[in-house]
Amino acid sequence: MVKRDNTAESSSVTAWFNQTVDHFGTNDSLWQQQYIFNPVYYKPGGPIIVLTPGEAPVSTMYSEYTHFTELAQESNGMVVAIEHRFFGQSNPLPDLSTASLEYMTLENTLEDFAEFIRAVKQTPEAIFPSVSGTPANSTVVFTGGSYGGSIAAWMRAKYPDIVSAAWASSAPVYSFNSFYQLDQAFGQHLGMRGCNDTFAQAVAELDEIIMSTNQTAIAEIKASFGFPGLASDDFVTQLANIVTTNINTPVTVSNDMIDRSICSFFDGTRSPLASYAMAVSAIISGYTPPSRVNTFKVPSRYLIQKRDSDTVDISVNQAYRSWNYISCTWFADWQVPAPDDLNLTSYRSQLITSEYWESGCTESFGSSLALPVDVGAHNKEWFSILKNATNIFYTVGSIDPWRGSTVAPESGYILQGSDTVVMAVMNGATHTQDMQMQSKYDLSEVTAAREMGDRLIMDSVALPFHFQFAAGAIAGVSEILCMYPLDVAKTRLMLQVGKGGGDQYKSIMDVFSRIIKEEGPTRLYRGILPPIMVEAPKRAIKFAANDSYSAMYMKMFNSEKLTQPLAILTGVSAGVTEALIVATPELVKIRLQAKENAGRYTGTMDCVRKIYAQEGLKAFANGLEATIWRHGLWNGGYFGSIFAIKAAIPKANSKKGELLNNFVAGAIGGTIGTTLNTPPDVVKTRIQNHNPTKGPAKYSTFLPGAKTIIQEEGFRALYKGYVPKVLRLGPGGGILLVVYDTVTTYMRKNFM
């Protein structure tokens, strides 16, 4: 069922998807889950960017007005916002009774999204009927913020076969029964604006009155804040919720709502309690901007009413009730002051305890709930699943109130030492700021986090083989044009038999100077046509076959990620494939580069004709076995070392930094590969330059040939030409990686 959004300017389409009430039980009744998709930037091949509002009704705000819409524009993708079960219009059952909400388990919730994604991959025309050309098996990435960010991370961890990557913004993936860390983060934010001490003093003075036996003073203080007659624990909780309304509001270079709505009243012109009362009054009067859901998931009106009512409203579309059930059964994360034994300053009343929040669970949902919430069991299952997950981008602000339950390094709980975590901590930022659309007022680290996330998500989008082929070809030809004279010098040095002396070249500079002086500078590019002609398939195969083999081996060995042993195996396999393509052009190139053949061949085609006429068709296979050794060792060393190097160096936080990392990794990988494959290269070069008119071949295959060279010239002879070779293939490896990355990024942006 599909309908157009009522807003004329909207590019979004609202639709419904049939889900099962209980995916893992006996109730297989169907219900309709609402989703909104925005195809305005979509081109076939682009990613499907899925997100959920989590604890809020879905709306076009999520399909059109988050950073993920900007990411869709950048990647030619489509944003799909899916409503969470038992929120908004997506209700498996007709009410929010405790019996109905028992079907709101995390397992059912994630399976809802998984079923939807499977349908996207299998029957996209049914899910997006107004979008033409959506291919099956499109790349799907899951994104979201806060609880929605946790869902994104769990979806990637639990369903890696259908979710290629995740962006988890401010995701509270680790739960606590008593979450005092939020109170401490609030105090840190107040401290940045200079009012933490006086605010804490106001809270302490308020507690002294509320916890006294002076009923007159208690009544007066409640009335002064505008809440006469409210129970004391409800009263202080209400105040804590009100003053932290803006704790999640983005901080920009020009605005901080915590400063405006709270600290501006603590200016020293009145008592701390009077300042507290003025701040509360201003916020209630509308000083805060409207938000989609109360910071603490329990709106102020509910706190005021809940103990005065004998009945509980169980009608649908009550986000606070649905979220409260989740808190009472899954997460807890009760916002409380720090315990006394930690000697930390408190910014909320000591009357606010876990027991207080749990009493609300019983009042709302009955005595059947198991309290306290078993957060240990929850973390054991749902935090542990993240420990080996890959392709998840986590973000968190340095003053994010939920930072203590995220994967922020300072939390001390989460994923320490893991090489699978990609994390951006945004200095000065609060909750989910990277999800906001770009603005000229953004903090620089928020912008940098978005750029990092965009690159990671775009890199997860499968690039069609023909694009990989073209990118590899462009990268390879670029490297040849820059580095080919070094290859000529390498060949000349490798072909020198003996231990030196006489007319032999002394060094790479001697090769260059004598070629230019004796043969002319154009000889530095003699034989370039065969490698140019073969470079396109050669380099394309190097990268495209490497990608294909990596996928094959991960499936073969049942591995969800590419390990270093698999990277080496993949590289060797790609190298063997590459060798089968390049062996013959290599032979022609060597013949043209050799000094003694300067007058023998007039050019590439003349060389090919004479080899065929004088030596036969089989001559074009000379050196194939040594070529396989050469390319297998180089690729295994190159891709295997790149895997380790990229894991060891710090993650880049900018495109320039990423290019530098790629160049460094490629250069080191190229040097390691060159060190491994120079001996078979020396043997190969001599095999392929053999002139049958001068007698039988001295070298036929790699290992016997290497043995002969060691016996006659010493072990060092196996590394003749190493200097120009490493000078070429070290930096050349960096050039390859940088150009390949740049070209593939351009292709993703402009052709997918």
Q: Note the pLDDT tens digit of each residue in 103-123.
A: 999 999 999 999 999 999 999
3-state class (DSSP) for residue 368: coil
Q: What is the mean pLDDT of residues 167-176?
A: 96
Alpha-carbon separation of residue 539 from 551, 740, 746 (angstroms): 19, 10, 18
Quick one: pLDDT at residue 647? Answer: 76
Q: Name the CATH superfamily for 142-175+373-462.
A: Alpha/Beta hydrolase fold, catalytic domain (3.40.50.1820)
Helix (H, G, I), strand (E, B) or coil at 165: strand
The pLDDT score that the predictor gives to residue 373 is 96
pLDDT exceeds cutoff 80 at 523? yes
Distance between CA atoms of residues 116 and 595, nearest Å: 66
Q: Is the model's pLDDT at 411 over the cut of 80?
A: no
Q: Residue 24 CB: number of other CB atoms within 10 A?
A: 9
> Which of 121, 165, 137 is closest to 452 using CA atoms?
165
Q: Once rounded to an integer, what is the mean pLDDT over residues 391-400?
A: 93
In angstroms, rounded to a whole number, what is the distance separating the alpha carbons of residues 164 and 11? 26
Position 743 pLDDT exceeds 70: yes
pLDDT value at position 216?
96
Average pLDDT over residues 177-188: 96
| Cβ 82 vs Cβ 50: under 8 Å | yes
Is residue 626 within 8 Å of residue 583, measured between CB atoms?
no
pLDDT at 4: 40
Q: State mean pLDDT over 494-499.
A: 86
| Mean pLDDT computed over 611-617 | 94
Which has the higher per-residue pLDDT, 541 or 347? 347
Q: Residue 370, class by beta-carbon neighbours within 10 Å (0-12 exposed, 13-18 middle, 19+ buried)?
A: exposed
Q: What is the mean pLDDT of residues 599-623?
A: 94
- The pLDDT of residue 536 is 67
Which pLDDT value is given to residue 294? 32
For residue 177, pLDDT beyond 50: yes
Instruction: Please give the pLDDT value at position 752.
Output: 66
Find the range with the poorest average confidence among 150-164, 227-241, 592-606, 633-647.
633-647
* Residue predicted with more confidence, 461 or 166: 166
What digits encode the pLDDT tens for the residues 62-119? 999 999 999 999 999 999 999 999 999 999 999 999 999 999 999 999 999 999 999 9
What is the average pLDDT across 312-329?
94
Residue 292 has pLDDT above 50, yes or no: no
Q: Which amino acid is at 387?
A: K
DSSP bridge pairs for 79: 38, 49
pLDDT value at 540 more than 80: no
Residue 409 pLDDT level (bands cut at 50, 70, 90): low
- Tell me the percentage of the chain whose pLDDT exceeds 90: 64
Is the model's pLDDT at 542 over the cut of 80? Answer: no
List, in sequence order, every residue forming a beta bridge with 19; answer none if it has no partner: 31
Which of 68-77, 176-185, 257-266, 475-484 is least confident? 475-484
Common-topology check for domains 2-60+79-138 and 142-175+373-462: yes
| 455: DSSP letter | H
Residue 288 pLDDT: 39
Q: Does the pLDDT value for residue 347 go beyond 60?
A: yes
For residues 301 and 295, is the Cβ–Cβ distance under 8 A?
no
Query: For residue 381, what pLDDT band results from cuts at 50, 70 and 90?
Result: very high
User: What is the model's pLDDT at position 501?
Assistant: 62
Window from 346-360, 410-424, 552-566, 705-719 with minimum mean pLDDT: 410-424
Which pLDDT score, from 0 to 100, does residue 415 have?
A: 54
- The shares of helix, strand and coil residues in the chain, as percent rounded to the nearest 5, are 55, 5, 35
Backbone phi, psi, residue 34, to 5°: -80, 140
Average confidence score pLDDT of the chain:
88
Which CATH superfamily groups domain 2-60+79-138?
Alpha/Beta hydrolase fold, catalytic domain (3.40.50.1820)
Q: Encode 491-538 in three state secondary structure.
A: HHHHCCCCCCCCCCCCCHHHHHHHHHHHCCHHHHHCCCHHHHHHHHHH
* Across 481-488, average pLDDT: 90
Q: What is the pLDDT of residue 263?
A: 95
Strand partners, 367: none
pLDDT of residue 305: 39
Identity at 650, one-letter amino acid code? P
Q: Quick check: 537 pLDDT over 80?
A: no
For the beta sheet containing 30-38, the strands, ordered from the edge strand earlier in sequence to the opposite edge, are: 2-4, 13-20, 30-38, 78-82, 48-51, 140-145, 165-169, 392-397, 421-426
> Looking at residue 103, what is its pLDDT?
98
Nearest to 511 by CA among 484, 491, 531: 491
- The pLDDT assigned to 745 comes to 79
Q: pLDDT confidence of 691, banded at 50, 70, 90?
A: confident
Looking at per-residue pLDDT, the higher value among 636 and 372 belongs to 372
When pLDDT is cut at 50, 70 and 90, the band that residue 306 belongs to is very low
pLDDT at 2 > cutoff 70: no
In the predicted model, what is the mean pLDDT of residues 679-690? Answer: 96
Residue type at 311?
Answer: T
3-class secondary-structure state, position 625:
helix
Reply yes or no on whether the pLDDT at 311 is more than 80. no
Is residue 575 scored above 90 in pLDDT? no
Closest listed residue to residue 679, CA positions, set 704, 658, 644: 704
The first and second tokens of residue 206, run together, are 């308020």
- What is the architecture, at CATH level 2, of domain 465-751? Alpha/alpha barrel (1.50)
Three-state SS letters, 389-447: CCCEEEEEECCCCCHHHCCCHHHCCCCCCCCCEEEEEECCCCCCHHHCCCCCCCCHHHH
Helix (H, G, I), strand (E, B) or coil at 107: helix
Q: What percent of the chain has pLDDT over 70?
A: 90
Residue 461, number of CB atoms within 10 A of its CB: 21
Query: How far is the C-alpha of 68 from the C-alpha of 66, rounded, in Å?
Result: 5
Alpha carbons 589 and 607: distance in angstroms, whole number: 9
**Token representation of residue 165:** 């990557």
Give, in order, the Cα–Cα distances in Å from 319 to each of 89, 173, 545, 567. 11, 20, 50, 47
| For the chain, domain boundaries | 2-60+79-138, 142-175+373-462, 181-371, 465-751
